[in-house]
């Protein structure tokens, strides 16, 4: 199973009150669970800087991960960047 990082920037107009993020997060989680059963959520982090949220997911099908990113993008009112992540030891072993 491959690991992916989904980096999200929320639009400035995504919410009028930060507490609305709880509702958006619940909606996104439910949609991804329904439409992307092969995507397994590992963790999520709120960050300061260029991205607002970093989600760590695993999946065998890159198309399902793409669909999950598009769900985040559409329901989360933001833009995403998705990166394939290789564990450092595996990366070094391939060199």
Residue 38's DSSP bridge partners are: none
pLDDT in tens, 30-79: 999 999 999 999 999 999 999 999 999 999 999 999 999 999 999 878 89
pLDDT in tens, 74-92: 987 889 999 999 999 999 9
pLDDT for the residue numbered 11: 87
Return the ∠ at Cα 67 (arms to 42 and 17), rounded to 5°. 70
pTM, 2 dp: 0.90
Return the ∠ at Cα 60 (arms to 54 and 61), rounded to 5°. 85
pLDDT in tens, 1-31: 999 999 999 988 888 888 888 998 999 999 9
Distances (CA, A) of 91 to 54, 78, 88, 94: 21, 31, 5, 5
Residue 16 gets the label, from left (phi > 0), alpha (psi -120 to 50) or beta, of alpha
């Amino acid at each position: 199973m491959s690991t992916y990082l989904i980096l999200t920037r929320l639009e400035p107009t995504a919410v009028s009150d930060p507490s609305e993020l709880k509702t958006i997060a619940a909606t996104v989680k439910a949609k991804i669970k329904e439409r992307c059963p092969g995507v397994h959520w590992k963790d999520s982090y709120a960050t300061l800087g260029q991205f607002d949220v970093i989600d760590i997911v695993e999946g065998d099908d890159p198309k399902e991960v793409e669909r999950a990113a598009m769900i985040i993008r559409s329901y989360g009112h933001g833009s995403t960047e998705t990166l394939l992540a290789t564990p450092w030891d595996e990366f070094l072993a391939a060199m």
